[in-house]
Amino acid sequence: MRTKAMRTKAMRIKAGVFTLSVLCSTMFVGGALAADSIGEPGRNSGKPNPLHNVYFGEQHLHTSASPDAFAFGTRNDADAAYRYAKGEAIKNDQSGLMIQKKTPYDWAAVTDHGIYLGMMPLLLDKNNPLQKTEIGKLISKGDHESGEAAFQQIITSGTIGVPIDYLVDPQVMKSAWQKQVDAANKHYEPGKFTTLVAYEWSSQPNSKNLHHNVFFRDDGPQRIFTAFDSVHREDLWTYQEVMRSLGHENFSVPHNSNVSNSAMFALHTSNGAPINRGWANRSALNSPLVEIVQTKGASETHPALSPNDEFASFEDKFVHLLGSGGVQSLIDKSFVRQALTDGVGFQEMLGSNPFKYGIVAGSDSHIAASANEEFNYPGVHGNIDYSPKVRLSGAGSVAGEPAVLFGSPGATGVWAPENTREEIFDGLKRKETFGTSGPLIRVRFFGGWDFDKDLVKDKDFVKTAYKKGVPMGGDLPTMPKKAKAPTFAVWALKDPDSGNLDRVQIIKGWYDKRGYGFQKIYDVAWSDERKPDEKTGKLPPVGNTVNIKKATYENSIGDNELSVVWTDPDFDPSQHAVYYPRVIEIPTPRWSTYDAAKLGVEPPEAVPATIQERAWASPIWYTPEPELVKRLDFYPGLQERLPPQGFSIGTLQHKKK
């Protein structure tokens, strides 16, 4: 790892003057913890930290209690999942090898599918009549092909919303849910390791992914609400609201919007009506977060939606609707950045934002292991990808894509006073969160109106930022009369087991005076004394030290820590806006390149040999005072478009030749 003496650089870019502080290496200790740093003061005080510590964890994970995971050969349960997250070694069900995280997590949630929860293990019981059913016979064979055939029946059942009658036993599922709760409580160690009680609502009407994970602050209710109860998110929200009234505080997190076929962030409700203020309020109340990356791809944006974003194409090879047999997902209204931008448009049009999401990331692993480390990847779908040879074979799967197109899992950081269930839950709910593509990059993000340009170098940086502004996930306070534009303070620290940092960007979304959404990317801090191009304003690439054949790299480029105070040079006080930072690492080997090096073969051509890992922090929103807003009678950017020719709404029926 390269170290540098503390230094400060002053740079000028098209966006204006800013200060970039690049600091020396920070001493790291074991686990997901680090020594006190300028961005995390009071970490090691031994008591609750009013300035908040970061806690890394998993918010999306499947075990043998999920029917598809079981069909893929997974037998490890929630107990094994929590042990793995805590840093213990567990046995991979397919390879027989022991697998273990290098850096343990601070918290985790097991989110098994609500449909058929816990039913599948009964299929292996010789004394249970379920073993003689069609799916029971397939599961009992234990081979790859039979497992995929069973999975296809299960996912088809969920897609069309018709339960397989012999796999729906309310008493068994109630008992299975209690087993999940018991496992979470068994592994909950306040102050050391936190578990959250959760499950997945797996709505997938006509293969359009609308999955949400549901989290409870307590042990949760006795009965969960599944996609067999309803595939409409409005009905899920009703369940959440009823549970909340009964004392079970909760929230839900949508995920995999990249394969939602334009449904996740559509401009209409489930029944086709335009979004109104009441719907927007319910969405913001019940679903405060969104998953931005996981093993089935990144959902931040797409090159077609962000043509000027040189980093838009990231883990974007997973494109087909789950279980559809090859139907490619539509792009529009399927990605987070567009939703955040549309959200501020709705805020102006309706007075409420239906897409006011904080950011998290996860794995969606189906082997009870949150394997977020690129260099330590055991696969995520059991017998489909359990070894380097199988993963690189190029064979397809009923999950929708070949194993090589799956990315490594992401990770979520939560800023909270201490590591308890209540504080982790509350930190998530207030959106003081960030997601990463896997590495444990630390990110702070604050917004205000009068941050000093040298704030990020001050030993009281965090204390002052909380006092004078708002953290990630918050709303800028009312604009003072003398203020000209908002200021943002961002700080990022590298993962000691990953690449150095290339740059920090702030991404802005807004609706203009004609009623159209726009986005702009600002490079605000970077490494290695590079200078933006005078004509284009683009920052030159950081370089690439990766030895592809050996799957190695050097941290001789990039920096350990980047920080800056930035002022929006294009601010219009009459326009609603949303801002979020993106932190980019230097290039490092992708997991498939590590696998290729182990096998002594060339990396697969279907995916990049190197990637630039990254982190995204929850946004900060600006809402103008009502008298400044010139509300339009019509917002063309928030109007429905006709469906593609040959695609029938509500079906997967293609145009007949």
- Mean confidence (pLDDT) of the chain: 90
- What is the per-residue pLDDT for 324? 74
Question: Which tokens sit at 556?
Answer: 């001789």
Mean pLDDT for the stretch of residues 361-388: 95
- What is the per-residue pLDDT for 82? 98
Question: Which tokens sit at 403?
Answer: 């194993």
584-639 pLDDT, tens digit each: 999 999 999 999 999 999 999 999 999 999 999 999 999 999 999 989 999 999 99
Mean pLDDT for the stretch of residues 235-261: 97
Query: Strand pairing of 577-585 and 588-589?
Result: unpaired
- What is the per-residue pLDDT for 14? 31
Percent of the chain with pLDDT over 70: 91
Distance of alpha carbon 411 from alpha carbon 107, whole angstroms: 11
Task: Say if residue 5's pLDDT is above 80.
Answer: no
| pLDDT confidence band for 81 (50 / 70 / 90) | very high
Using CA atoms, how far residue 537 sits from 13, 418, 569, in Å, is 7, 42, 14
| pLDDT confidence band for 398 (50 / 70 / 90) | low
- What is the per-residue pLDDT for 400? 63
| pLDDT confidence band for 28 (50 / 70 / 90) | very low
- What is the per-residue pLDDT for 35? 60
One-letter identity of residue 72? F
Mean pLDDT for the stretch of residues 125-129: 82
| pLDDT confidence band for 172 (50 / 70 / 90) | confident
Question: Interior CA angle at 362 toward 359 and 231, to 5°?
Answer: 85
Element spanning 290, H or E: strand 289-291
- What is the per-residue pLDDT for 41? 93
Using CA atoms, how far residue 131 sits from 75, 134, 599, in Å, is 16, 8, 39
Task: Say if residue 115's pLDDT is above 90.
Answer: yes
Q: What is the 3-state secondary structure (H, E, C) of 161-182?
A: CCCCHHHCCHHHHHHHHHHHHH
- What is the per-residue pLDDT for 485? 98
- What is the per-residue pLDDT for 164? 85
- What is the per-residue pLDDT for 347? 98
| pLDDT confidence band for 423 (50 / 70 / 90) | very high
Task: Say if residue 649's pLDDT is above 80.
Answer: no
Closest CA to 523 of 562, 556, 559: 562
Q: Which of 152-166, 305-319, 601-615 is least confident?
A: 152-166
335-350 pLDDT, tens digit each: 999 999 999 999 999 9
CB 365 within 8 A of CB 380: yes
Half-sphere exposure of 500 (CA within 13 A, CB side): 27
Q: Which of 23-32, 49-58, 429-438 is least confident?
A: 23-32
| pLDDT confidence band for 180 (50 / 70 / 90) | very high
Q: In angstroms, how far is CA 573 from the centroid of its own chain? A: 31
Alpha helices (H) in 276-385, listed in sequence order: 277-286, 336-350
Task: Say if residue 536's pLDDT is above 70.
Answer: yes
Q: Which of 26-40, 317-331, 547-561 holds the top average pLDDT?
A: 547-561
- What is the per-residue pLDDT for 161? 77
Task: Say if residue 657's pLDDT is above 90.
Answer: no
Distance of alpha carbon 368 from alpha carbon 75, whole angstroms: 9
CB atoms within 10 A of CB 102: 11
- What is the per-residue pLDDT for 45? 85
Mean pLDDT for the stretch of residues 139-147: 77
Task: Say if residue 186's pLDDT is above 60.
Answer: yes
pTM of the complete model? 0.91
Q: Which of 17-31, 167-181, 304-318 is least confident?
A: 17-31
- What is the per-residue pLDDT for 123? 81
| pLDDT confidence band for 146 (50 / 70 / 90) | confident
Task: Say if residue 76's pLDDT is above 90.
Answer: yes
Using CA atoms, how far residue 23 sits from 59, 326, 491, 501, 520, in Å, is 31, 49, 11, 12, 28
3-state secondary structure of 187: helix
515-531 pLDDT, tens digit each: 999 999 999 999 999 99
